[in-house]
Amino acid sequence: LLTSGKWYYEAEIQTAGCIQIGWADSSFAGHCQADRGDGVGDGPSSWAFDGWRRYRWHSTPTEWGCRWAEGDVVGCLVDMDSMAITFTLNGKGEEIGMGLAFSGEGFRPCSGVYACVSFNRKEKIRLILGGEGSESFKFSPPEGYRG
């Protein structure tokens, strides 16, 4: 679990359908309700972006962000020191309607968080988690963030 620092990963969209990408905390149990279609962002223990429906998710959806297409890269950032979640699309943030998605009372995880995604059976994504010896990010993380 990530409990401090600034962290980044990327999700390359391979099919542009129903996918939720983000972060979950230690109390997340999305697999328990998967038969109902629940995933990351659908409850109080996770936060997600869905570029197919253009929503940010945390218990309930809120219209937000840009529509994604096949080949797009979603940047997923969490700042555990200032308690904020940000999303980018192809390296761009606020200038295209992305950027800060959750902070303050909207982001209060139980202990730490970890990268989490959920999607329909036929959808495909590719995660780039970073770290030594792994594939390079498609877009450089902002200064101070690491994979």
Per-residue pLDDT of the chain (147 residues; tens, 9 = 90+): 999 999 999 999 999 999 999 999 999 976 555 566 679 999 999 999 999 999 999 999 999 999 999 999 999 999 999 999 999 999 999 999 999 999 999 999 999 999 999 998 899 999 999 988 889 999 999 999 999
Take residue 100 and report the two structure tokens written for it.
């800060």
What b/e sequence results for 67-97 when a residue is b if at least 16 CB atoms lie within 10 Å of its CB, and e otherwise?
Answer: ebeeebbbbbbbbbeeebbbbbbbbebeeee
**What is the DSSP code (8-state) at residue 2?**
B
pTM exceeds cut of 0.85: yes
**What is the DSSP code (8-state) at residue 135?**
P
Whether 123 and 3 have beta carbons less than 8 Å apart is answered as no
